[in-house]
């Protein structure tokens, strides 16, 4: 017999913020492993582009315009995703924004609220509504499911000038742990991924900053920026049955930055 736990055929994965960056990197890997994919994003044309890219892997793809900072859009989005693809086996609450300020004392309340609305409210509603679907399914005799929150090294390292962002990411870890404990009885597990420095649109400013290239990237033991593809293997693993006994963990993917 062959060992094939990473074959995701018959499974459905939802990735919020899945039309680019880390989200698309995870979605592409899971599509290649055979999963049907739902991606949510706010930008319709980017959704369309990512949808075409993912369809090329021969799986079903559903792209939907959802602003995760709006509760009703998330509630409707889960219903529509389940109606379209039949079920959700794994969810990646990945949509996020990264606003900082020149200093903490200059951080405006509207920036704080905006970051919280996407990175915390959005994750809360995405995970809660997916849990609702998975718990109902479990009660109908079809238990299981994997919930993933995309946090950040900012949750565990001091991210100066990014206090609002850091707070949301710390909260994601805490929320994931609470969900993990409460839902284990339904065969569900919940884990957090903590990316390090990853080359995406979010970090374009840092990528263009020579001081950053001189001072920060040389301190990454892997000596390079992370790429969205670096998250593919973890996404496939967490969506697969191979991870069914792993729950409540914080999985750091950072080229060794945080332990150097
Ligand atoms: P990105 O900016 O390339 O992609 C973010 C995605 O989220 C996009 O698809 C965007 O459309 C979507 N999005 C933003 N606001 C949304 C909303 N209100 N509703 C629905 N979708 C929304 O960023 P990246 O780097 O791919 O980030 C993905 C996640 O990884 C974020 O949660 C980010 O905080 C986290 N992260 C990124 C790091 C990095 O170095 N790039 C480091 C640590 C964490």
Residue 6 forms part of a structural domain: no
Q: Which of 60, 69, 18 is nearest to 43 (CA)?
A: 18
Marked catalytic residue, from 165, 186, 237, 257: 165
Residue 4 forms part of a structural domain: no
The residue segments making up the domain with residue 155 are: 12-259
pLDDT band at 2 (very low <50, low <70, confident <90, very high): very high
Ligand 1 centroid vs 32 CA: distance in angstroms?
A: 22
Query: What digits encode the pLDDT tens for the residues 235-244?
Result: 999 999 999 9
98 lines ligand 1 (CB under 6 A): yes
pLDDT band at 1 (very low <50, low <70, confident <90, very high): confident
41 lines ligand 1 (CB under 6 A): yes
Query: What digits encode the pLDDT tens for the residues 22-60?
Result: 999 999 999 999 999 999 999 999 999 999 999 999 999
Residue 229 forms part of a structural domain: yes
The structure's pTM equals 0.98
126 lines ligand 1 (CB under 6 A): no
Ligand 1 centroid vs 21 CA: distance in angstroms?
A: 7
CATH number at residue 197: 3.40.50.720
Closest residue CA from atom 31 of ligand 1:
96
Label residue 255 exposed, middle or buried (CB < 10 Å: 0-12, 13-18, 19+): buried
Residue 1 forms part of a structural domain: no
Ligand 1 centroid vs 67 CA: distance in angstroms?
A: 12
Residue 5 forms part of a structural domain: no
Q: How crowded is residue 84: how many other Cβ atoms within 10 Å of its Cβ?
A: 14
Q: Which of 45, 72, 95 has most ligand 1 atoms within 8 Å of CB, for mutation? A: 95
Q: How crowded is residue 35: how many other Cβ atoms within 10 Å of its Cβ?
A: 28
How many domains does the structure of the chain reveal? 1
Q: How confident is the model at residue 41, as a pLDDT?
A: 98
To the query of whether residue 165 is one of the catalytic residues in this protein, the response is yes
How many Å apart are CA 101 and CA 124, to the nearest integer? 25
96 lines ligand 1 (CB under 6 A): yes
Residue 66 forms part of a structural domain: yes
Tokens read off for 22? 């880390």
């Amino acid at each position: 017999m062959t060992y094939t736990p990473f074959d995701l055929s018959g499974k459905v994965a939802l990735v919020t913020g899945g039309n680019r960056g880390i989200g698309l990197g995870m979605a592409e890997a899971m599509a290649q492993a055979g999963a049907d994919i739902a991606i949510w994003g706010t930008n319709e044309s980017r959704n369309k582009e990512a949808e075409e890219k993912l369809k090329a892997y021969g799986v079903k793809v559903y792209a939907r315009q959802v602003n995760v900072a709006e509760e009703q859009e998330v509630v409707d989005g889960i219903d529509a995703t389940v109606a379209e693809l039949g079920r959700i086996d794994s969810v990646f609450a990945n949509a996020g924004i990264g606003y900082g300020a020149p200093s903490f004392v200059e951080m405006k309340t509207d920036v704080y609220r905006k970051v919280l609305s996407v990175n915390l409210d959005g994750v809360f509603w995405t995970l809660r509504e997916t849990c609702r679907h998975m718990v109902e399914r479990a009660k109908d005799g079809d238990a299981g499911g994997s919930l993933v929150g995309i946090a950040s090294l900012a949750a565990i390292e001091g991210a100066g000038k990014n206090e609002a962002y850091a707070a949301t990411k710390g909260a994601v870890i805490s929320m994931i742990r609470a969900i993990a404990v409460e839902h284990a009885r339904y065969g569900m597990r919940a884990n957090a991924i903590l990316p390090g420095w990853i080359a995406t649109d979010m970090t374009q400013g840092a990528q263009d900053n020579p001081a950053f290239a001189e001072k920060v990237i040389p301190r990454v033991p892997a000596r390079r920026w992370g790429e969205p593809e670096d998250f593919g293997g973890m996404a496939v693993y967490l969506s697969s049955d191979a991870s069914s006994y792993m729950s409540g963990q914080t999985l750091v993917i950072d080229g060794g930055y945080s332990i150097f």
